[in-house]
Chains A and B, each alone.
Chain A
């Protein structure tokens, strides 16, 4: 497999994390324009952990995800009191603060005679853990795919059970949720923290694959895209946002005919979908229909096997 395809697949994998992060909040009825902040926090935190502190990559992943969860949970605690635009505005403001903060932040140390660390607008160079440990891009791609698969299994289990029902009910009708005994604010804050951890994981992988990150990577466009992935792909299943990433990164960015027109096609796609499929391609109704066909097919297969 060529390097180009590896990099496209790696991008699909990494953006799937931030897409799932925004999706989790959309399920609870909250729109975040700031998931890129946690992606950035994950990237910087994990980069510092491996490049400056010499910690192993799995520990750096946990550290990055933990930082993402802690900051997102705290932001949620402060801003999720009321529904609606308040949270959307707060996340956007927070994300811009984080980006501007990273532009100012200098924490450079000499590691093996070379300066390494966050260096303001010049970014954070020398996150070379993957390279130094002889991990090829192909192997790293497997790491990304494995983590993504694990995350999708978590989503699938949650959505089949009571947790998924709770998240969707909080999103669909918070008042009803409360009168059925659900602590709506707690559910939203926990969802925000989990979403922060998921976005941060994507950031950890991004930083270690590229070896270099800069504050510009985490601008508002990344946040808007991550939100659009769920709205395009659909809010009926966790595969919806993945489908959104596949369409954007996989099709528009990587297929030559679309190049140069990517943003135009993407913007048009979002506009058309919001009109004709307001909850995306794989919305609740379509997911239900597909699940029904699948169940009937399996029942028929079982019937044939018994006969």
Chain B
């Protein structure tokens, strides 16, 4: 469903993403790892239309989309969360999740109690329950601890019923226990037919959720395959565990 060919994005003199090829079939779960500054977030920005590629083609369901603006990416059914959290701080949890309503067809904007809106409200109520946010639904998000704020972002993305879901460090800043909980929630709440790309530093979480891992380093993809193979590769181990350990092995 998603196919990248020769995608390059420069910022000044730095190539944040270099000549990247990636083929993600529908319903796949791809983990994206790599050191800080390796281009993971830039790749998510490219895939959500937040930044444009300088060179190369991005195909979504066969259509070229690399020149479209961000709202057109969203309307194709691409949803994302943000590593640095983009929540409207003075709004409550429920109101923040309701922002997903802007992905509903425009006709619903002028009709109160339109069928699409009723179904949407029910979906949000269910999501808040599943994510353990029902009790804090009327609390301003700024009053919540970080793990809950990340759940609000996840709820907002899921409420849109996306085809492609991009998660940018959904367990960033969490304790191991919180990370395990987040992993369980993602596994349970992301429907099987949704394509998932997960950017994460925590290898446990990635291997648990994704049967396929791609590794970025200095904007290049250096490995792509099953976690067992990819994580055993010397170049990947060098990035993650340092040179000494690979020398011993």
Shortest distance between the CB of B112 and any CB in chain A (Å):
7
Hey, which chain B residues are within 8 Å of A161, CB to CB? 109, 112
How many angstroms from the CA of A180 to the CA of B109 in the assembled complex? 15
How many angstroms from the CA of A169 to the CA of B90 in the assembled complex? 12
A163 within 8 A of B: yes
A178 within 8 A of B: yes
Number of A-B contacts (CB under 8 A): 64
Hey, which chain B residues are within 8 Å of A284, CB to CB? 90
Given contacts A169-B88, A173-B88, contact A181 B71 (CB under 8 A): yes
Give the nearest-CB partner of A185 in chain B.
B69
B208 within 8 A of A: no
Most B CB within 10 A of own CB, among A165, A173, A179:
A179
Hey, which chain A residues are within 8 Å of B48, CB to CB? 179
B98 within 8 A of A: yes
Interface contact A162-B109, CB-CB below 8 Å: yes
What 6 pairs across the A-B complex have the smallest Cβ distances?
A: A178-B70, A181-B74, A162-B109, A176-B86, A181-B103, A180-B102
Q: At the interface, is chain A mostly helix, strand, loop or mixed?
A: helix
B101 within 8 A of A: yes
How many angstroms from the CA of A175 to the CA of B88 in the assembled complex? 12
A-side interface residues, number (CB < 8 Å): 21
Hey, which chain B residues are within 8 Å of A178, CB to CB? 49-50, 69-71, 74
Scoring B residues 68 to 97 as 1 if CB is less than 8 Å from chain A, else 0, what string do you get?
A: 011101110001101000101010000000
Hey, which chain B residues are within 8 Å of A176, CB to CB? 82, 86, 88, 99
Shortest distance between the CB of A301 and any CB in chain B (Å):
21
Hey, which chain A residues are within 8 Å of B112, CB to CB? 161
Interface contact A179-B73, CB-CB below 8 Å: yes
Most A CB within 10 A of own CB, among B75, B88, B103, B112:
B88
Interface residues of A in 258-291 (CB under 8 A from B): 284-285, 288
Interface contact A184-B71, CB-CB below 8 Å: yes
Interface contact A182-B71, CB-CB below 8 Å: yes
Scoring B residues 43 to 80 as 1 if CB is less than 8 Å from chain A, else 0, what string do you get?
A: 00000111000000000000000000111011100011
Shortest distance between the CB of B102 and any CB in chain A (Å):
5
Given contacts A173-B86, A179-B48, A180-B102, contact A162 B108 (CB under 8 A): yes
A: residues with CB less than 8 A from B are 161-163, 165-166, 169, 172-173, 175-184, 284-285, 288
Hey, which chain A residues are within 8 Å of B103, CB to CB? 180-181
How many angstroms from the CA of A175 to the CA of B102 in the assembled complex? 13
Q: Return the contact of A179 from the options B74, B88, B90, B101 (Cβ within 8 A).
A: B74
Give the nearest-CB partner of B112 in chain A.
A161
Hey, which chain B residues are within 8 Å of A165, CB to CB? 98-99, 101-102
Give the nearest-CB partner of B109 in chain A.
A162
Give the nearest-CB partner of B138 in chain A.
A292
B100 within 8 A of A: yes
Interface contact B80-A163, CB-CB below 8 Å: no
How many angstroms from the CA of A163 to the CA of B82 in the assembled complex? 24
Interface contact A172-B71, CB-CB below 8 Å: no
Hey, which chain A residues are within 8 Å of B73, CB to CB? 179
Interface residues of B in 112-163 (CB under 8 A from A): 112, 156, 160
Hey, which chain B residues are within 8 Å of A183, CB to CB? 69, 71
Give the nearest-CB partner of A163 in chain B.
B109
How many angstroms from the CA of A161 to the CA of B16 in the assembled complex? 40
Shortest distance between the CB of A235 and any CB in chain B (Å):
12
Most A CB within 10 A of own CB, among B48, B99, B100:
B99
Hey, which chain A residues are within 8 Å of B82, CB to CB? 176
Hey, which chain A residues are within 8 Å of B80, CB to CB? 179
